[in-house]
Chains A and B, each alone.
Chain A
């Protein structure tokens, strides 16, 4: 599905946190994962700016590791603050989706 960018804003950060939660990973792998999920418009630059923000907000632990080719890669893992943030994200997500579903079903 295309043109999801506007709708994804604000939720993509949570998605990236969730991907990092399951295993320590790096920008390219996160982008590929999102693309596989069907978010075809997400490019590595977008993920990069999100990772910068997560790093600045102290939600991830960053490790530089040498890669087979080219410069070393930055690997990201969640720290405790990151896990808290992710739990908050899912709570908010539950709230929003339940309200919107209700609206769609014509409830009040």
Chain B
């Protein structure tokens, strides 16, 4: 990534297009799962979503590998796509918007309580 890409995120757009092209080649049920995975992973993104790129790349790789094995999407991901995504993001140590909001909330509550002398 060079400076221009860092500032404009143009490399992300390019990577994103490459992901979608790869996803297009998957069977229909796999494509549906891909959409769901993206939805579940977005909350784990940082401001630009850059931290998600390697995670998405890995997930897509898994889908490609298992689709070519002829496995059903249920054999691969089971019923718990949200749990799978949480494990993926957690495995990469991704800190999410939600974590930061939670921290902020906890801090604010602690400050308010402190002011009340509670």
Interface residues of A (CB under 8 A from B): 27-28, 41, 43-46, 48-49, 52-53, 56, 67, 69-71, 73
Please tell me if B67 contacts chain A, counting CB pairs below 8 Å. yes
B62 at the interface (CB under 8 A from A): yes
A43 touches B77 (CB 8 A): yes
- Give Cα distance in the complex from A87 to B84, angstroms: 27
Q: Which 3 pairs, one residue from A and one from B, show the smallest C-beta to C-beta distance?
A: A70-B68, A49-B87, A43-B78
B68 CB contacts on chain A under 8 angstroms: 67, 69-71
Interface size class of B (residues with CB under 8 A): 20 to 34
Question: Could you pull out 16 A-B pairs where Cβ atoms are within 8 angstroms?
Answer: A28-B65, A28-B66, A43-B77, A44-B71, A45-B62, A45-B77, A46-B78, A49-B87, A52-B88, A53-B91, A67-B65, A69-B69, A70-B64, A71-B61, A71-B65, A71-B68
Q: CB-CB < 8 A to B62: which residues of A?
A: 27, 44-45, 48
Asked if A28 and B91 make an inter-chain contact with CB atoms under 8 angstroms apart, the answer reads: no
Residues of B within 8 A of A46 (CB): 78, 84, 87
Distance to closest chain A CB from B85 (angstroms): 9
Distance, CA A48 to CA B92, complexed state (A): 13
**B62, B75, B78, most chain A CB atoms within 10 A:** B62
Residue B76, interface by CB 8 Å: yes
